[in-house]
Each structure stands twice: as C-alpha cells, then as structure tokens.
Amino acid sequence: MENTNRHIRIKEYNYNQKETRNHNPKGEHNMKKLFTANRETGDIIEEVKSIEAGRELISRYEAEDKAEGTYEENFYDVVDEDHNSVL
C-alpha cells in the first residue's frame, strides 16, 4: 500500500508541475526496489538505489572473491523485489 501512495504522490507532483517523464534516467529504476543477489540461488545480498550502484557493488564483491580465491564469473546479479534480473 505504501508504494501505491508514493506512486500517486509522484503523479500528482508531476501533474502540478506540468512535468512529464517518458522514461527513467539511465541507471535508475524507480518502480521497484533493487538488490544485489546471488544469481544461482536468488538470495538477496544488499539493497541498492540504482542499477549502476548494483554494478559497482558487484565489482567490489568480485574483487574480494578474487582476493580470496573464490571468484566465479557471473555469480552476482541485480534483481528487483520480484527477483527478476534487471541486468
């Protein structure tokens, strides 16, 4: 319910400001929450504010994994709250 009210407020603000948005800015995903996740199991690791922020975190995770000798290519993903990949 909270997301619905937030969505309504955004629409009202845009209407009052006579502002229209045809698309999200590059790297932004405003409709659902985003998370970094384990690609194989879908386990959520951390919430992120944008796809780009998720990519940056994945780069850090991969650097740590390489240093520990546990790196696996494509192990991480950025997913929405329904666990759908957004990369």
- Cα separations (Å) of 40 from 26, 37, 61, 72? 26, 9, 15, 11
Distance (Å, whole) CA 55 – CA 72? 16
Indicate the DSSP class of residue 25: P
Q: What is the reported pTM?
A: 0.63
Q: What is the pLDDT along the chain (87 residues), one digit of tens a residue?
A: 444 434 333 333 333 333 334 344 555 545 689 999 999 998 999 999 999 999 999 999 999 999 999 999 999 999 999 999 998
> Which residues have CB under 8 Å from 29's CB, separation 6+?
50, 51, 80, 86
Tokens of 15: 């209407």
